[in-house]
Amino acid sequence: MNLRTNRAVSLVLPALHVCLCVATKVGLLASEGSWAWFLVFLVDFPFSILLLPLLKIADPLLVFGILGTAWWYLISRVGLHVAGRLSEFRRRRRDSHLQTATRRMEP
Give residue 3's pLDDT. 65
Tell me: pLDDT of 102 over 80.
no
Higher-scoring residue by pLDDT: 7, 2: 7
Cis amide linkage into residue 46, ω under 30° from 0: yes
pLDDT digits (tens, 9 = 90+) for 54-74: 989 999 899 999 999 999 999
pTM summary value: 0.75
Residues 4-27: pLDDT tens digits? Answer: 777 788 888 999 999 999 998 888
The pLDDT of residue 68: 93
